[in-house]
Structure 1
Amino acid sequence: MTMDAVTAPETHAFEADVSKLLHMMVHSVYSDRDVFLRELVSNAADACEKLRYEAISSPALLGDEPQARINLKLDKETGTLVIEDNGIGMTAADMGETLGTIARSGTKAFMDKLAADKNGEGQQLIGQFGVGFYSAFMVAGKVEVVSRRAGEVDAAIWSSDGLGTYTIAPADPAAAPARGTRVTLHLLEDAKTYAERYTVERIIKAQSGHVPVPIFLQEVASEEEPAQVADGVALWTKGKNDISEEDYADFYRSLAGQFDKPALTLHYRAEGRHEYSVLTFIPETKPFDLFDPDRKGRIKLYVRRVFITDEADILPRYLRFVRGLVDSADLPLNMSREMIQDSPVLSAIQKGVSNRILSELDKLSVSEPERYAPIWENFGPVLKEGLYEDFERRDALLGLARFKSTTSDGEWRSLKDYVSTLQENQTAIYYATGHDLDRIAQSPQIEGFKARGIEVLLLPDQVDSFWTTMGVDYEGKPFKSVTQGAADLSLIPLAGGSSAAATPSEEANNFIIFAKEALADQVSDVRISDRLTSSAVCIVAADNAMDLQLEKMLASAGRAPERAKPVLEVNAGHALIAKLGQASGDEEGRRDLAFLLLDEARIAEGEAPADPRAFAERLERLMTKALG
């Protein structure tokens, strides 16, 4: 094989998601393109921190340059901007894997949302989510990456114009960094200001001034030494009085890769048996990976300012929307990531940080409910996963929970608010589940509760159908579904002061007897309802059966056995029921009407008739007789 064959650049195509992202970058005009510099500096800082970790077990990797640094070089003459770090570096294989594919599930979620964009909101989406290395193509017509992994002899160069392909080739070792990565941006004509000192220095100080690696800036045409524009002092090591709100916001954006502001910042140092610093943020907007099936957290773990991993399970999965870091003074640096995960010290940190975050949210919910409300709006469905998974903190989570209800006029209500308005003889907290608040609020099963002034919680999130089945109670009051079992409202007076409904008429009893026989294959029972006031019928789950909404959800996912027969409840005071209970010689017509009432109840529940063809035939026979 010839030397030319060995050293010839290899051309590769970007994976499909990257190609779409690059096309968007190249062809969109984004008003705040400064994001690219923050993203590239953040990547450089991560590379330096990874080297610090690797050097714990292999000090020789640091060579003659133990101090991490990021250098920016500006060349107005050639229109280039260089970002160089002396971090861990990459091999040619690393380049293909890192720069040719999208690995972060959050980035994939971003791409999916962008692909589904129907209202031209793409620019806004970009502004809410950092797009990593590929943002360089917003300002550059060509990007070159030269890198040498620490401890390696060979270097490699990656190059692309962002139009669909990239090349990887060996690089001249003499022209490559001793270790680390050099990214050269050949700036577009309308982006040449990014080769000017004032522009770059302003962006660094505004967006990357708190990365834990010093940043130096140099103009190629100048004979001056590189000037330090960021000191690399970790923000979390400073006192809170020395940090402004904007400092926190800048650090959050750099850390989280988002453009919003933190809705809540928590910064403290724990002392005592274990010492560690915590700096965490609750985002103002939903991260794109909020409902990632893996439900991974995004908390970085440091040990004495050395970055260890961003995959340590610091927080429970229902707090995965929290961004930030923990820096421990007690964990040993020479332990593997796997061993650290099993450490009792980390367990103590996990417990302390989780409890503190929930405590701070509780304080905010009481002292500043207007600030807490949007946090719950964004992350309530995720926090409620903890009601299902975290028995130890269930009481704390119930205190944080907020609900819309039949009496809240669209406002959020706490369980404390709910129990303060319990009706006479009310012994349970009633709820209704579904997919849409308005539809749940119109459920016929709620009518009897409204008539008695009983508040019903409206639960539209999928997780609601699960946590409510876990035997949860609040202040001794169990949660009870309005679509499961007997309502048992007879002891609670109607709103006008009158007591229970009147004794069912003979006609209503006649219909019950007839319907039980006619619908025996379809329902487990037919009975008088105290849930209904205006609707003729509704269906509910039997006392010991699964709640209707949960059963429907599991069945649609193929995770439930054959669905149980529901109970058909009848409004004994409804004129239609009385009419059907009267003696009649038209048995076929009565059976048709009984089946149509059952299908009506199913439709009100958001389901289709059990047998659509039979439903249509019965309806046609009924209309024919009516017109006859």
Structure 2
Amino acid sequence: MNTNIMETYEFQSETNEILHLMIHSLYSNKEIFLRELVSNASDAIDKLKFQTISSPELYENNTNLCIRIRINKDNNTLIISDNGIGMTHKEIINNLGTIAKSGTKEFLQTYNKTTQEKNSLIGQFGVGFYSVFIVSKKVLVKSRFGGLDKNEGVLWESEGKGKYQVKKIFKKNRGTKITLYLKSEAQNFLESWNIKRIVNKYSNHVAIPIEIYTYDEKTKTSIWEQINQAQALWTLEKSKIKDDDYKNFYKKLTNDSNDPITWTHNKVEGVQEYTILLFIPSKSAWDIWNRENKHGLKLYVKRIYIMDNAEQFLPNYLRFVKGIIDSNNLPLNVSREILQENELVKTLKKALTKRILKLLENLSKNTESYQLFWSQFGLILKEGPAEDPENKIIISNLLRFRSIKTTLSENLISLQNYIDNMQKKQEKIYYITTDSYASAINSPHLEFFKQKNIDVLLLTDKIDEWMMNYMTDFKGKSFQSVSKYDKSIEKLNNNVQDQEKNINENVKLLLNKVKEILKDKIKDVRFTHKLTQTPAIVTTDSNDMTTQMAKLFSSAGQSIPEIKYIFEINPNHELIKKISTETNSKKFKNWVKILFEQSLLVEKNTLDDPNKFINRINKFLIHCN
């Protein structure tokens, strides 16, 4: 190739369409061009490091590796240079002509094929490089491959409009220098503060120093100022990182003034290479309850920042987790902005989920710390059994509950605690779902359990009823709502047969009378021996919708079928015995309706027509004598 001859290469006719796609469709903001150029420069330096292991002469007495940025406002240029491996004449055509030579049809076909084929494009220099035309009207690239003669440098030049030119040049230093002639609307990239901001945002943790040419007006001197940290905390050996370093990093990462409760820092090597640094905050974010908001990890690829809130790596019920994931081989789409759905991402999600659950399992051994965690994020973790059946066992172990054997001031108990304290004949784990702690602890459904010293879990969060639909059993013990009819509860009563024999004859006649009065309002009426202080309650059948579930559907604006309750009467209660002797049919009917409506009020905390109930009570009180 003649040194003075500029070779012109015609792009295929579809090039303008390709560039339009690159500039207007694949990138969501203009500033990422600098991220792409820094990433390419970092890759070139990494390649040099690798090749000099066997060929140290490629350093050419220049081992001070760095990436440099220089602004020239006089001619509206931005220059990004590196002293990495550089490119040969052939490589510069292949690399910078990738899109051009493939053509729109071939490129789009590849772009619309499998995820893996899409992802491979990001590894090609030309794709990321062409983002420069988002801000540039003309681009010059000067490069020389390490070890080649200084006369073997190559100049590549293009306006991105149908052709590019290549010329052999003299280039003293190894590496690549890219000069961007900025468009008029991109003049803000000639401000050093903006360049520093972009580097800090995307490339702060690149292991290579990134320097900007700075002129000091006071001293009238120029220096190369390093503007990146050049050392990512997560890349250091854990033994060299102090707890305060982790805490300070967390605060900077999240803008949280509080220390995290705990964290996990791991590097995985092999087929999948990635590093994670994940934190459990000590206080929930203000928007944590909005499942529609994006919650995720900060994603880096080879220490290059890609995005915030990468939600593909953790299930939604772990959205409180903060931190970073840095992958060496994570596939991205062409713009490096959207993760592709593929097996690697799914595998990473499984691994990170198990890692966090294990971290919480270890945290649960410290009662005080875990109580703090649970107070902030327990409600969110309760979404887990429904969302993540694969990890339901470990999630179940992490759940905490109040029960009739604990007070509000005491620590919550785990399901393992509950099982360890079960009665000998107890077959199931009993629970009650209500609107509040007061409603739960005072529920007549618990009278028998309190008498027999059998614990019952008190579930008072709105999510609890939904969660329990996915909690069928725990370590061989099935769950049973005490507000549903179940024979296992009656089995726990050793004296049930004697109690049946002692039922007053008048009381025995009640069932058919009550059923006749209530008719279609109930599913059934029966005696119960699980009440000690209450005359009657209503329960739902084992396969019917519970009251709490009906409330959830109703609050969501969904129509629900009418619940037909089982009316359970305590034959030993004085009020029931009194009613059974009532000979006035009108009074008897009113007694039954009042009793039933009382039971509904206790169960639902409301009535369809409370005024009618009050009037019935008032009239009855007037004529009670």
TM range, normalised to the smaller chain? 0.5 to 0.7
Of 289, 292, 295, the residue aligned with 1:294 is 292
Residue 382 of structure 1 aligns to a residue whose secondary structure is helix
The 1:49–1:269 alpha-carbon spacing in structure 2 relative to 1, beyond 3 Å, is farther
CA deviations on 1:581-626 (whole Å, 9 max, x unpaired) are 11412x2222112111122112222432232332132112112113
What's the counterpart of residue 434 of structure 2? 434
TM-fit CA distance, 1:173: 7.3
The 1:215–1:533 alpha-carbon spacing in structure 2 relative to 1, beyond 3 Å, is farther
What's the counterpart of residue 347 of structure 1? 346
Residue 261 of structure 2 aligns to a residue whose secondary structure is strand
What's the counterpart of residue 135 of structure 2? 152
TM-fit CA distance, 1:523: 1.6
What's the counterpart of residue 379 of structure 1? 377
TM-fit CA distance, 1:253: 1.8
The 1:339–1:283 alpha-carbon spacing in structure 2 relative to 1, beyond 3 Å, is closer
CA contact (8 A) 1:536 1:570 kept: yes
Paired letter, 2:594: L
The 1:220–1:465 alpha-carbon spacing in structure 2 relative to 1, beyond 3 Å, is farther
What's the counterpart of residue 261 of structure 1? 259
Residue 529 of structure 2 aligns to a residue whose secondary structure is coil
The 1:590–1:257 alpha-carbon spacing in structure 2 relative to 1, beyond 3 Å, is same
Of 287, 291, 308, the residue aligned with 2:306 is 308
CA contact (8 A) 1:50 1:308 kept: no
The 1:400–1:330 alpha-carbon spacing in structure 2 relative to 1, beyond 3 Å, is same
Of 499, 504, 523, the residue aligned with 1:502 is 499
The 1:303–1:598 alpha-carbon spacing in structure 2 relative to 1, beyond 3 Å, is same
Distance across 2 between alignment mates of 1:173 and 1:295: 33
The 1:422–1:51 alpha-carbon spacing in structure 2 relative to 1, beyond 3 Å, is farther
Distance across 1 between alignment mates of 2:217 and 2:34: 29
Report the count of equivalent residues: 462
CA deviations on 1:502-538 (whole Å, 9 max, x unpaired) are 1232233233322211112322122112332111122
What's the counterpart of residue 615 of structure 2? 617
Of 205, 217, 224, the residue aligned with 1:212 is 205
CA contact (8 A) 1:388 1:470 kept: yes
Distance across 2 between alignment mates of 1:408 and 1:150: 67
* Mapping for residues 273-284 of structure 1, pairs under 5 Å: 273-284=271-282
Distance across 2 between alignment mates of 1:307 and 1:453: 58
What's the counterpart of residue 135 of structure 1? none
What's the counterpart of residue 570 of structure 1? 569
The 1:371–1:256 alpha-carbon spacing in structure 2 relative to 1, beyond 3 Å, is same
What's the counterpart of residue 13 of structure 2? none
Paired letter, 1:502: Q
The 1:371–1:152 alpha-carbon spacing in structure 2 relative to 1, beyond 3 Å, is same
TM-fit CA distance, 1:393: 0.3
Of 147, 155, 177, the residue aligned with 2:189 is 177
CA deviations on 1:17-70 (whole Å, 9 max, x unpaired) are xxxxxxxxxxxxxxxxxxxxxxxxxxxxx99994565449999xx9xxx94899
CA deviations on 1:347-388 (whole Å, 9 max, x unpaired) are 11111111111012112212x222122112211111111111
CA contact (8 A) 1:431 1:482 kept: yes
CA contact (8 A) 2:330 2:344 kept: yes
Q: CA RMSD in A?
A: 3.8
CA contact (8 A) 1:484 1:548 kept: no
Residue 490 of structure 2 aligns to a residue whose secondary structure is coil
Paired letter, 1:611: D
The 1:86–1:385 alpha-carbon spacing in structure 2 relative to 1, beyond 3 Å, is farther
CA contact (8 A) 1:490 1:499 kept: yes
The 1:539–1:393 alpha-carbon spacing in structure 2 relative to 1, beyond 3 Å, is same
TM-fit CA distance, 1:295: 5.5
CA deviations on 1:543-601 (whole Å, 9 max, x unpaired) are 2201221122212323243222111211221100110011412x222211211112211
The 1:435–1:320 alpha-carbon spacing in structure 2 relative to 1, beyond 3 Å, is same
Distance across 1 between alignment mates of 2:215 and 2:513: 91
Paired letter, 1:576: L
TM-fit CA distance, 1:289: 1.7
Distance across 2 between alignment mates of 1:371 and 1:584: 63
CA contact (8 A) 2:444 2:534 kept: yes
What's the counterpart of residue 556 of structure 1? 555
The 1:175–1:307 alpha-carbon spacing in structure 2 relative to 1, beyond 3 Å, is closer
CA contact (8 A) 2:211 2:224 kept: no
The 1:48–1:580 alpha-carbon spacing in structure 2 relative to 1, beyond 3 Å, is same
5+ long unaligned stretches in structure 1: 1-45, 72-84, 88-148, 155-170, 185-206
Paired letter, 1:177: F
5+ long unaligned stretches in structure 2: 1-27, 45-65, 72-77, 81-131, 138-182
What's the counterpart of residue 85 of structure 2? none
Paired letter, 1:418: Y
User: Which moved further from structure 2: 506-515 or 380-389?
Assistant: 506-515
Distance across 2 between alignment mates of 1:594 and 1:293: 46
Distance across 1 between alignment mates of 2:378 and 2:368: 15
What's the counterpart of residue 418 of structure 2? 418
Paired letter, 2:499: A
TM-fit CA distance, 1:283: 0.6
Distance across 1 between alignment mates of 2:593 and 2:245: 67
What's the counterpart of residue 328 of structure 1? 327
What's the counterpart of residue 40 of structure 1? none
Residue 273 of structure 1 aligns to a residue whose secondary structure is coil
* Mapping for residues 8-47 of structure 1, pairs under 5 Å: none
TM-fit CA distance, 1:336: 5.4
TM-fit CA distance, 1:415: 1.0
What's the counterpart of residue 485 of structure 1? 485
TM-fit CA distance, 1:276: 0.7
CA contact (8 A) 1:301 1:312 kept: no
CA deviations on 1:89-126 (whole Å, 9 max, x unpaired) are xxxxxxxxxxxxxxxxxxxxxxxxxxxxxxxxxxxxxx
Distance across 2 between alignment mates of 1:513 and 1:406: 35
Paired letter, 2:205: P
TM-fit CA distance, 1:332: 4.0
Residue 331 of structure 1 aligns to a residue whose secondary structure is coil
CA contact (8 A) 2:189 2:195 kept: no
Residue 519 of structure 2 aligns to a residue whose secondary structure is coil
Residue 490 of structure 1 aligns to a residue whose secondary structure is helix
CA contact (8 A) 1:300 1:312 kept: no
Residue 212 of structure 1 aligns to a residue whose secondary structure is coil
CA contact (8 A) 1:298 1:322 kept: yes
